[in-house]
Structure 1
Amino acid sequence: MNDRGAAAEQRAADFIATQGLKLVARNWRCRFGEIDLIAKEGKTLIFIEVRARRHAQFGGAASSIQRSKQEKLIRTAQLYLQSISPVPPCRFDAICIDGDDLVWLKDCIQAD
């Protein structure tokens, strides 16, 4: 990960802490991929994708989360969930940073 990516993830981690979420894991990796942040909000486990772009041109950070990336996140989360019991309610969020603007997209990726 480059310095800019690490800085974006740190900014996202700091942000979710101010929103009352408890960070569970950072950069959780398995054979399917990586989940940037895993947090808890009450009893809900949240898998968070962090995306950063210098500016919002060409759709910005949110549009960079293509369907293939979403599927990879879902498979990775499913493997993570196999390691815990009982499985809590879950959701997928994204924190998108375009320049200085940070947007938290809650429940933006749906596992079918």
Structure 2
Amino acid sequence: LVTIIECVCADGTAIPPSVVFQGARRDLEWGRDNPCNASILHSPKGWTDQELGSAWLERDFEPQTAAKVKPNGYRLLILDGHNSHTTYRFCSFAAKHKIIILCLPSHTTH
């Protein structure tokens, strides 16, 4: 099982995907220089969890979309209402970085 986290911006560009493999521990070195520049991650079930969701927002989305925002501007992130997106850490980081979260009903985006 594998989960892919993808993000396409309103201007048509995309940030590199994150690929979550199932497993307790993986040797992730093989994926380091992949052609998509994807982040290679793992979780026990191969799904996004609360830790990976917050890490993606902090490590991938925020720095890779920050340059697209005008000074003091906001970003809109539309996602499903999965519990990996609704943690205090996720929401407070988003608020601090002027990222507006719009949650669709859980599991309606796939």
Fold shared, TM-score > 0.5 on shorter chain = no
Q: Which has the higher strand share?
A: 1
Structure 1 or 2, whichever has the larger Rg, is 2
Greater relative contact order, per chain length (Cα 8 Å cut-off, separation 6+): 1
